[in-house]
Amino acid sequence: MSSTKRIFLSSPHMTGNEQDYIKEAFDLNWIAPLGNHVGAFEQELADYVGVDHAAAVSSGTAAIHLALRLLDVQQGDTLFCSSLTFVASANPILYEKAEPVLIDSEPDTWNMAPEALERALRDADKTGHLPKAVIVVNLYGQSAKMKELADLCETYDVPMIEDAAESLGSEYDGRKSGSFGTFGIFSFNGNKIITTSGGGMLTSNDEAMIQKARFLSTQARDPALHYQHSEVGFNYRMSNIVAGIGRAQLEAIDLRVQQRRNVFTRYQEALGEIDGIDFMPELPGTHSNRWLTALTVDPDKTGIDRTAIIQALAEDNIEARPVWKPLHRQPLFEEYRYYPFQEDDSVSDKLFEYGMCLPSGSNMEAEDQERVIQKMLAALKA
């Protein structure tokens, strides 16, 4: 390993104001779970996304799990979920012993293909076993085709959970990502566009549902002087300290989107003309936060495959990654049904074979990005 500075895929980017909010929490001794920052962060995030209500929780995964509980998912139910995503999108389905059905991507957004969703819904309807919900992921900040997907969900009267863990600040048709489903979920994990070190948010326009989420996330304690419980709860609530970090981070979201988009533009200008290199598209009418710059490498044209490029970057202490391995290819999910884009055409398999993500942090120095670009050009002999 070389002694050069490590360049991360995506590292935390503090504004400097986080410590003021934390200090306030300390000054008021609001360290233990709840306090003024939690409610304020919920309201500020809901306002930003353009939804009515939000519940701050300990992770994006917890937010998805709560959404499933709120929709009364039971053992044996099915849930449809994008296949090309991080495992956390679908793990809560397994927590509830329900059955995932995985849906392929389409080429325009790399996200859930309306064509495949339609086939899956039609089949499910025929057997009288429609899914409890469809979990739609907005990959690397790019919104899925929300209109087509939401129309299908509406036709079959199936709720949509919008996994916007990677797309805070992105837009579709002028509306913010995460505002399209019955529920939206967000993550503030360390590598996301804003971070609280770890945390998540569940959003909805349904006030009763969000109140219930708060109740479930604090051990489902009944209103009584003693500790009384009549249903299973979770310890999923966000702490006041973490929410303080989140408030400062959220203040910078629009700047972070611009910075990540600038990173993308510099990569595209430097590498976009190379035959065999294709950047992740941005569907007209959408605005991606470009959380990670993703591209595909066609080895027949470039003479090198994406794995060899990632290795060449690693030798120079640069962190790059393949795109998510589709869930239908994961040992954990292999046994479940999968609906490809077309009967004989799986888009996510190809994206996994050829796709990679480049370091994309909003705090990456211009000279660091130049180092990545030079390494890429050398690997591609361009």
Residue numbers at the binding site for ligand PLP (CB under 6 A): 59-61, 85-86, 88-89, 137, 163, 165-166, 187, 189, 200
Complex with ligand PLP: residue 197 or 211, whichever CB lies closer: 197
Q: How many helical (H) and strand (E) elements, i.e. helices and strands, does the chain have?
A: 13, 15
Complex with ligand PLP: residue 167 or 302, whichever CB lies closer: 167
Q: Where are the beta strands (DSSP E) in 104-196?
A: 134-137, 160-163, 171-172, 175-176, 183-187
Q: Do 177 and 138 contact (CB within 8 A), yes or no?
A: yes
| Least distance between ligand PLP and beta carbon 278 (Å) | 22
Backbone angles phi, psi at 348, to 5 degrees: -65, -30
* Token pair belonging to 366: 């211009």
| Least distance between ligand PLP and beta carbon 263 (Å) | 18
Q: Do 148 and 285 contact (CB within 8 A), yes or no?
A: no
Strands laid side by side in the 293-297 sheet = 277-279, 293-297, 355-358, 321-322
Complex with ligand PLP: residue 239 or 302, whichever CB lies closer: 239
| Least distance between ligand PLP and beta carbon 183 (Å) | 13
Complex with ligand PLP: residue 66 or 137, whichever CB lies closer: 137
Distance CA 278, CA 281 (A): 8
| Least distance between ligand PLP and beta carbon 177 (Å) | 12
Complex with ligand PLP: residue 209 or 238, whichever CB lies closer: 238
The H or E element that residue 80 is part of is: strand 78-82
| DSSP state letters, 213-274 | HHHHTBTT--SSSS---SS---B-BPPHHHHHHHHHHHHTHHHHHHHHHHHHHHHHHHHTTS
Q: Do 332 and 106 contact (CB within 8 A), yes or no?
A: no
Complex with ligand PLP: residue 176 or 375, whichever CB lies closer: 176
Q: Do 301 and 275 contact (CB within 8 A), yes or no?
A: yes
Complex with ligand PLP: residue 98 or 168, whichever CB lies closer: 168
Q: Which residue is nearest to ligand PLP (CB)?
A: 60
